[in-house]
Chain A
Amino acid sequence: MIVELLAQTSSRELLAALPASEIPEKDFLGHLSFTFAVEGISRACSHQLVRHRVASFSQQSQRYIQVKRLNEHVVTPPIITEKAAYDFASFIDVASNVYSKMVEGGVPKEDARFVLPNATETSLLMTMDGRSLMHFFGLRLCNRAQWEVREMAEEMLRQVRLAEPELFGEIGPYCVQLGKCPEGRFSCGKAAEMKARYS
């Protein structure tokens, strides 16, 4: 997985140009945007990203781009490597063969892709405003988030902290942002540990 913050509207530039005025931080964040290149994540992970509706995505299209050598372009969850590596690899081989055979036989890529698994790698450009990014971190840095999207969120946070330390220096999952866990009975019970980790 590769994550790179490609561009942002700078809070310093905006604050310097603004006439002196009091703007609540939440309102101010909505006027900033952050654009990331995200590469080599699974389609399972990108499906989670698009749940964040106040964001923009430009994703590699499986209608236009043929997936070649599928077995070299899949994301394998560590638990599968540990417990089901052979079954997983066998399935990927079958999916790869069927897909290639269909494309070679004249099935359009947009239809042949129906046999591609969620493990298939994808890349995309993603832009969020600052407020949506805070919400994204609140949810996706949580211990209950899925490992791949959490790994991605960790790397995004590391990079925005370098770019905007004043805004994101103390940001973490919602238990850190709110001072209490909003997950109710599903809480991991590690709010203090998370606070120490992200503060």
Chain B
Amino acid sequence: MKLRLLASTPAVETLIATAMLTTTSGASPSSLFHRLSANPTKVAETVGRIEVQHGSILEHNRLDWLLEAREGEVLKILLANRFFSVTRLGSDSWLLSANLRTILEYQVEGDEFSGLLMSSIENLIPSAYAFGRRKA
């Protein structure tokens, strides 16, 4: 099995912080997003407080991968979590996408695919990566 990240929503952690503060502060989401975009320290601090119970804040993004896997392996992934989207590109080649909540929730499987997912976001979404590792 091979997994390669192809594309992602930009500024995923800024969007997570924006979602967190939108729900609990009186500030508007657009002004929060623009203020946070200029303040990576505040973003890291806010995202560092993620609680898994409030998973919806992790859904404002989408990541796309090229997955090379056999049909049975893809079926196993889809049976474990219905929030992955898959399009067949070739016999063992798939376009796969999901949001960060799905990635983190998949970690309970503890299989090869969960490890590949986490590795693919290590540099892109470092705070969420650290959170996912703690939960695992």
Do A and B share a complex?
A: yes
B43 on the A face (CB < 8 A): no
Docked Cα-Cα span, A4 to B31, in Å, equals 10
Of B18-26, B44-52, B107-115, which binds chain A?
Answer: B18-26
Known: A7-B11, A9-B9. A58 touches B28 (CB 8 A): no
Chain A residues lying within 8 Å of B19, measured Cβ to Cβ, are 58, 125
Known interface pairs A56-B59, A129-B62; A35-B9 also in contact (CB < 8 Å): yes
Interface size on B, residues (CB 8 A): 36
Bits for A46-75, please: 1 = Cβ < 8 Å to B, else 0.
000000000011111100110000000000
Structural contact, A37 and B28, CB atoms closer than 8 A: yes
Chain A residues 1 to 36 lying within 8 A of chain B, measured CB to CB, are 2, 4, 6-10, 13-14, 17-19, 21, 23, 27-28, 30-33, 35
Contacts A18-B6, A37-B29; is A123 near B62 (CB within 8 Å)? no
**Chain B contacts for A57, CB-based, 8 A:** 56
Residue in contact with A23 in the complex, picked from B30, B33, B62, B87, CB distance below 8 Å: B87
Which of B26, B29, B30, B85 sits near A30, CB closer than 8 Å?
Answer: B85
Which of B71-79, B91-99, B123-131 lies at the interface? B91-99
Report chain B residues within 8 Å CB of A8: 9
Contacts of A102 in B (CB 8 A): none
Q: Which of A38, A60, A125: most chain B Cβ within 10 A?
A: A125
Q: In the complex, what distance in Å separates the CA atom of A125 from the CA atom of B17?
A: 11
- Given A6, A27, A38, which contacts B33 in the complex, CB threshold below 8 Å? A6
Asked whether A124 is an interface residue with its Cβ less than 8 Å from the other chain, the reply is: yes
In-complex Cβ contact of B60 among A2, A59, A65, A127 (8 A)? A127
Please give me the residue from chain B that is nearest to A8 by CB atom.
Answer: B9
Name the contact of A39 in the complex, choosing from B28, B66, B85, B93 (C-beta under 8 A). Answer: B28
Q: B55: nearest residue on chain A (CB-CB)?
A: A56
- Enumerate chain A residues within 8 angstroms of B120, measured Cβ to Cβ: none
Please measure, in the bound complex, the distance between the C-alpha atom of A17 and the C-alpha atom of B95, giving whole angstroms: 11
Is the CB–CB distance between B15 and A9 below 8 Å? Answer: no
- Assess the B23–A60 pair: CB atoms within 8 A: yes
B residues near A (Cβ < 8 Å) are: 6-11, 15, 18-20, 22-26, 28-30, 33, 56-57, 59-64, 66, 85, 87, 89-90, 93, 95, 97, 99
- Across the A-B interface, give the 5 residue pairs with the lowest CB-CB distance, nearest first: A56-B59, A33-B62, A58-B19, A37-B29, A17-B6
The contact sample of 12 A-B pairs, CB cut-off 8 A, is: A6-B33, A14-B7, A30-B87, A31-B95, A33-B9, A37-B30, A39-B30, A58-B23, A59-B22, A65-B26, A123-B22, A125-B29
